[in-house]
Amino acid sequence: MKIGILTSGGDCPGLNSVIRGAVLKGVISHEAEFVGFRWGWKGVVEADIMPITRHDVRGLAKQGGTILGSSRTNPFEGEGGGPENIQRMLDEHGIDAIIAIGGEGTLTAARRLHDEGGINVVGVPKTIDNDLAATDYSFGFDTAVEIATEAIDRLRTTADSHGRCMVLEVMGRHVGWIALHSGMAGGAHAILIPEQPQSIEQICEWVESVRDRGRAPLVVVAEGFTLPGMNEAHSHKGLDAFNRPRLGGISEQLAPMIEERTGIESRATVLGHIQRGGAPSAYDRVLATRLGMAAVDAVYDQAWGSMVTLRGTDIRTVSIADAVGTLNRVPQSRYDEARILFG
Ligand code: F6P
């Protein structure tokens, strides 16, 4: 069997671990052959293909980024796009199946290629935001939380030195998992996430109560958080070409608002893509490796249109249809738990 792998969408620590897990499992257990599509679906549409041997994946589990490159190309667009063209290209290169590693957009495209064109595809969920349904955690999330937590620890000492309020903006376009976990781990005094609207008055109340206890307030905000009544028209950064809040928007608005209302000198820090760079944590390496191995099993089971997923501590296979279209939001109970710690 010849299997093509692609990594698509925003990159994520652990992508290379998935590739290594899949290749080792496929070569050792099934004598499979592997190729990679360069730059996500772009490599499929343009038949930009590279061989991946066992030798190529040596030592790859710890390497950040993706050896295949990634992009946000839609496989239904462009000259070689659409299920018919893609099937023709796969036949020409003798490729029997695709393992598509990506988030909501990638998996939706994979599902459509399978449903509408009968393409043999298996998905692997990827998102540092942890916003995909049908998987308890996605690889990359643990690494991102670790990096954000270290940032909180570092901000705390400089905040204490100056008696300032620090507002740290972390990734999370639609959901606040990174903010919730790093905020809890780092002992933030307020955690602001898209799922839980809070007024500026409430935020300032939390900040002032921290100051009144003689501490320097630390606020963690997910990039997708908005104040009630605020929309992109109020934001000086607005939305980007993908209809996402621009990085740097919300913390840079909140810090001066807090300073103005409380009189506490405030600073904003945008962590940005540092959360996606560098080596994956050991947890993410293990999870990603297991998912890569399971994706190969799904290929040999001919579980087309399915996605491998983490449920509890087990790796399972679900239909991609069950995984896309619904966000994995932070439940109220998890927020309430963290909320008690704001004091
Ligand atoms: O993939 C999720 C994410 O990390 C978001 O949290 C963030 O808004 C976005 O990617 C940034 O994407 P890009 O690298 O395209 O700017």
Here the ipTM equals: 0.93
| For residue 235, pLDDT beyond 60 | no
Average pLDDT over every residue of 104-110 = 95
Residues marked as catalytic: 129
pLDDT band at 11 (very low <50, low <70, confident <90, very high): very high
Average pLDDT over every residue of 196-222 = 96
Average pLDDT over every residue of 133-139 = 94
Q: How far apart are CA 162 and CA 259, in angstroms?
A: 14
Mean pLDDT of the chain, nearest integer: 94
Q: How far apart are CA 289 and CA 192, in angstroms?
A: 32
* Pick from 75-79, 192-196, 305-309: least confident: 75-79
Average pLDDT over every residue of 235-255 = 68
Q: Whose CA is nearest to atom 11 of ligand 1?
A: 10
- Is 129 annotated as a binding-site member? yes
Structure confidence at residue 310 (pLDDT): 97
Percent of the chain with pLDDT over 70: 95
Structure confidence at residue 231 (pLDDT): 57
pLDDT band at 34 (very low <50, low <70, confident <90, very high): very high
Q: How far apart are CA 15 and CA 288, in angstroms?
A: 7
| For residue 237, pLDDT beyond 50 | yes
Residue 90's Cα: distance from chain center in Å?
29
Structural domains for the chain: 2-139+280-324 (3.40.50.450), 141-276 (3.40.50.460)
Structure confidence at residue 238 (pLDDT): 58
Structure confidence at residue 228 (pLDDT): 86
| Residue 77, φ and ψ in degrees, nearest 5 | -110, 160
Ligand 1 atom, smallest distance to 72 CA: 15
* 45 or 243, higher pLDDT: 45
Average pLDDT over every residue of 148-167 = 97
Average pLDDT over every residue of 190-205 = 96
| For residue 59, pLDDT beyond 50 | yes
**Token couple for 304:** 């087309």
Q: Are 11 and 45 in contact (CB under 8 A)?
A: no
Q: Whose CA is nearest to atom 12 of ligand 1?
A: 10
- Is 103 annotated as a binding-site member? yes
Ligand 1 pocket residues where CB is under 6 Å: 10, 103, 127-129, 171-173, 223, 244, 276
Structure confidence at residue 233 (pLDDT): 42
Q: How far apart are CA 26 and CA 142, in angstroms?
A: 26
